[in-house]
Structure 1
Amino acid sequence: MEISGLGSVMNTPSTQLEQTASPAEVARSFSEFMTNALEKVDQAQVESSQLNQKYMAGEITDIHNVMISSQKAAVMLQMTMEVRNKAVEAYQEIMRMQV
């Protein structure tokens, strides 16, 4: 299972990474990446909720797709929380550094 959006970041050729970008451009790019990732997590949560509602209403009889959707949304949310925790840890570590 590939996490969409990460493939383009991980497969970036080193020649592209060597190009210098201003801090504002990097921040904007990271912000856009995080915004897109959060939108995908939200979309997965909404899709899971809709499938659960349809299953409870009897419109869907195949519970496999409902469970897969639910687990996918849960894993995406858990990964998002871990990324957030690591970003907070990194920020705190930088703030503890003496200049």
Structure 2
Amino acid sequence: MSVGPIGPSLPAAPRLQLEDARQRPPQSSGGPSTVADTFGAMFSDAIAQLDALQKNADSLTTRLAAGEAVDLHDVTIAVEQANLGFQFAMSVRNKLIEAYQEIARMQV
């Protein structure tokens, strides 16, 4: 059994996004529409990953409750990954709302 390094680690969802971003080839810098498309695609990918984590945790929990042979350790890990992903998404949402409110308060 291997033991991971001691230190802070990223939750599952952000780590997957970081790995995905590293594997993508660099895109040419374009106008605002390209940035908006990339920004929108990033959020779509993040929501899809969060949804997959939630569905996996739900499936394992349902199977465990139905009496199927499911490792309790795997269920606990899946539920915690989904929980961390959801907490991360909520903090990103809250920061976006704060940024929007700050921009709305700016005087032009």
TM range (shorter): 0.7 to 0.9
Q: Give the TM-score normalised by the residue count of structure 2.
A: 0.76
Q: Deviation per CA, 1:27-81: give whole Å up to 9, x if none.
A: 1100000011001101110110000011111112420000000000000011001
* 2:106 aligned partner: 97
Q: How do 1:59-78 and structure 2 match up within 5 A?
A: 59-78=68-87
Q: Does 1:4 align with 2:13?
A: no
Residue aligning to 1:34:
43
Query: Within 1, Cα distance between the matches of 2:72 and 2:29?
Result: 50
* Identical positions, percent: 36
Q: Flag the structure with more relative contact order, 1 or 2, with Cα contacts below 8 A and sequence separation at least 6.
A: 2
The count of aligned residue pairs is: 94
Gaps of 5+ in 1: 10-15
Specify which structure has the higher proportion of helix.
1
Deviation beyond 3 Å, 4+ runs, structure 1: none
Q: TM-score, normalised by structure 1?
A: 0.83
RMSD over aligned Cα, in angstroms? Answer: 2.3
